[in-house]
Structure 1
Amino acid sequence: MKYKTLLSLKSLIVLGFATAVIPLFLGVIYAAYGLRETAELGRVINSQVFEQTKTIRLVLQKSSDIERKARLFVLLSDPGLRQPYERESYEAARASFKQALSDLLKLHVDNKIALLVNELSEKENLIYQQIIGSETEQTFKLPIDEAFQGFRESSTVLSREFENHVEHTFNELRQLSEALEQGLLIKGAVLLLLSCALVTGLLAVLSGSMRQLDAAIRRLGSGELEQAIEVTGPADLHSLGERLEWLRTHLMALESSKQQLMQNLAREIEQPLQHIREGAEHLNAPDEQMPGNPETDLAQQVEASVDKLQTVSEQLLKYSMIQAAPSAQDMSLVDMRELLETELESLHTALQAKAIRVRKLLKPLKITGVAEQFRDFTRELLANAIQFSPENGEIRVMLRDSGDYMELEIEDDGPGIEPELRLHVFEPFYRSGSGDRERHGLGLAMVREYVAHHQGKVEFIDPRLDYFGARVRVRIPLDIAE
C-alpha cells in the first residue's frame, strides 16, 4: 500500500478527472479519425464511380454513334455514291470510340469490366474489317443486323455489369460504415468500463482513508487513546493521520500529566498545610508547653507556609494560562540567535556570581512562533543550567537547523539526571528525591508546554563524551503546520 502515499489528494482528484475525460477524448479522437477515413474513402469512391459512370455513358454513346455511322457507310455501298467525308466521319467515330474505351480502362476498373471492354473493342474491330473488306468484295460475310446485334449485346452487358459494380462498391462502403459504427460502440463501452473501474478504485482508496480518519476522530472524541492511529492512502491524508497520532500521544501525555499533577500538587501543599496545622495546635496548647517566644516563631512558620502556598497558587495560575495553544495572530518570525544572545546577556550577573563560562555555537536561524514563549522556555533552560552548574563550571549552548527542524542544546557540568528520571522531570511539581534537584516546580513543565505548542519536543539526553552534566535538547519544526 506504500504506492498510495506517493499521491496527494489533489493528485488523486486530477487523476480521477483525467480518467473520466481522457477516455472520452480518445473516443472522440478515434471517432473523428474513423469518420475522416470513411469520408475520405467515400469521396474517393464517389469520384471514381462518377468518372467511371461518365466514361461508361460516353462509351455507350460512342457505341451508338459508331453503329449509326457504320450503317450509313454500308447503305452507301456504291463507291460512286459515297462522299469522301462519309468514311472520314466513320473513322472519326471509331477513333472517338477507341479513345473512350482507353479512358475507361485507365480508371482502374475491375477485371470483369476490363474483359467486357476488350470484347466490345474486338467486336467493333470485326465489324470494321467486314465493312472495309466489303468495299472490294461487294458482299458481307454476315448480315449487317447480326453483326451489330452482337455489338449492342456486348454494350448492354457492359452497362449492366457496371451497374452491378457500382452497387457492389456502395454496399462495401455501407458495410465499412456499419463496421466503424460498431467498433466505436465497442471501444466506447470498453473505455467507459475502464474509466468506471479506475474511478471506483480511486473512490475506494479515498473512502478507505476517510473511514480511517472518521474512526480515529471518533476514538479521540470518546477518550479511547490506547489504539494507535494509522491512515493509509494519499500523502496528505496520511500526513493528517500522522498529525492525529501526534495529537493522540499528546492527549495521553496530558492525561498522564494531569494525574501526576494532582498527586504532585497534593504532596507539594502537604508540608505547608502540616506546618499551619502544627501552629494551630501550639496555639491551643498551654503556654507552659511552648518555650521561648512562641508567638514570633509560629507567626514566621505560618507566614512561610502561606508564602509557599501563594507561590504554588501563582505557578498553577500561570501554568493553566499556557494550556491553550497560541493563535495565528501571536505568531511571528523569531531570530533565535539574537534571542539567545539577549537572554545570556540578561543572565550575565548570575553567570558571574558562580564564575560560569559559556561556550556558544549559534548558527543564524529564524523560525515562526510565539516570541514570548520562545523567550520564556529559553530563559528557563538557561537558568536551570546555571542553577545546577558548579562554581567555575561551563555551559555549552548550540543552535542549528537539522533538516526541517530547529535544534537547541544546552549542557551544563552539574550532577546530571539519571536516564530513568529524564521523562519525569517535566511533570509538574515532580520530586526526584536526589539532592539539589529534589523539587522541580512548574518550570520544566511549562517548557514542555511551550515547545508542544510549536509541535516540537524537549528531552534530556545523554551528555557528550567526556562530560557528565545534564544535556537538554529542543527540536521544533521550522515550518509549523497550522
Structure 2
Amino acid sequence: MNLFRLRPKSFFSLVLSAMFVVSLPLLLVVIASDLLMDRLVLDSTRSVYRSVTASELSQALQEQLTRQERRYRQYLVLGDDSIQEDLQSAIAQINGTISSLLAIPHNLELKALFDLLANQQKKIQASLQPTRGVGATISDDDFSAINDTGRQIYLLSQRGIYNEVETLHREEEQAEKLLFALASTCLPLTIILVFFLTRLITRPIKQIDQGLHLLGQGDFTTEITVNGPDDLASLGTRLNWLRQQLAYYEQEKNKFASHISHELKTPLASIHEAAELLGDGVAGPVSEQQREVIGILRKNCGELKRLIENLVGLTMAQAERACLQMSEFDLKDLVAEVVGDYKPAIVNNTLTLTMVIDTCTLLADRQRIKTVVDNLLSNAIKYTPSGGTITIFGQNANGQVVLEIHDSGPGIPESEQEQIFSPFFHGAATTCRSHVKGTGLGLAIAKEYVAAHNGTLELVQLVETGACFRITLPHIC
C-alpha cells in the first residue's frame, strides 16, 4: 500500500498533519496530568474539610460533654426546672454533634465509639424522665465513661488527620508513578513518530535534491521520480521533463560538434595540402617572403586542427564515458613516456623535472590517462619560467593511486580556480611561454577522462607559489 495515498494533497498540509500526529502523545500526557492534578486537588480539599470538621466537632463534643456533666450535677442538687431545660438542650446539642460526626466518613472504630456515646446519652436522657426514680441517677463512673468516650473520639479524630495526610502522600506517589510511566511510554512513541514523519516529509525533498544533483552532474539518463504530495510529485514530473529536454539538447550538441568537426576537417586538409605544395615549389619558385607566409599558414592550420581534435575529444569524453579500452599498465612507465615526449622542451627551457612515483598498477584506459598526464604536464611546462622546477609525485594511498604535478609558475588566481575546468576557459595569466593562445579544452578533457574512471581531478591549494593538480584514481577503475 502506498503511504502517500493517505497523505494530504499539499506539502503544507502534510507538515501540519505531521505536527498534529507528533503532538498527540504530548497532548495525552498533558491531559492525563491535568486530570490527575484535578483529582489530587479535589481529594486534598475533601480530606482537609473532613479532617478540620471532624477535629472541630470532636473538640466541641468534649466541651459539650463537660457542660452536660456540670448541668446534670447542678440539677441533682437544686432540682430547678430551668436547669433541666438547659440540660435537655445540652443533650440535644450533643446528639446533634454525634449526628454530624456520623455524617463524615470514618473508620469502624470511630463509628463504634459514636454508637457507644449515643447509647450513653440515651441513658442520661432516660434518667431525666419523671417515671424514673432516684435509682436511675447517673453515677460518677457513668460520667467518667462518657468523658472517656469523648476523649477517645477526639484522639481518633486527630489520628484521622494524619491518616488523611498519609493517604494523600500515597495518592501523590501513585500519580507521579503513573505520570512517569505515561511519559516513559509517550516519549519513545513521540521519537518514533518524529523519526518516521521526518523521513516521510524529507523523502520527496531528498528525491528532488538527488534529481537536481544528477542533472548538475550531467546525468540525463536516470529517471527522476518523486513520491510525495501532489505539489511535490508535480515538481518531480517537471524535473523529469527538464531532464528529457536536456538529454535531447545534449544529444543534438554532440551531433553538431561531430558534424561540424567533420565538415571543418575536409577543407582544412585541403588548405594544409595546398600550403605544403606551395612550400615544396610545385606552383613555382617561392621567395623568402612567400615562404614566411606559407609557414604562418601551416602553423595556423596545425593550431586549427588541434582545436578541432580537442573539440571532438571533449565531445567524445562527455558522450561516451562508458567506452573505455581497459588494460593493465604501470603508471610510472606511462608518466616516464610522457616526460620523454617533452624532454626537448624541458632542456631548451632549462627546467628541472623531478619524478618520484611508486610502482602503481592501474586497470584503466591507458590512452586516456596518458592524455590527462600529457595535458597537465604541457600546462606545467608552458607556465613554468626558465630555470623553474616541475615535480611529479605518485603513490598508493588507501586503495587508490594519487598523482600530483606541481610547477613553480605563477599559480592560478583565486578568482579563476572555480572556472579552470570549464570548456573554452582562458585564464588571465601573462607569463605563459607560448605566444599561441590555447583552446581552453585541455583541463576540461582531462577532468572528463578522469571522471570516466570514477576518479577525481582537482586543484590543490598551496602555500608556496605555483599550481598543483592532483589525480586520484582507483586501482581498478
TM-score for the superposition, normalised by structure 2: 0.48
TM-score for the superposition, normalised by structure 1: 0.48
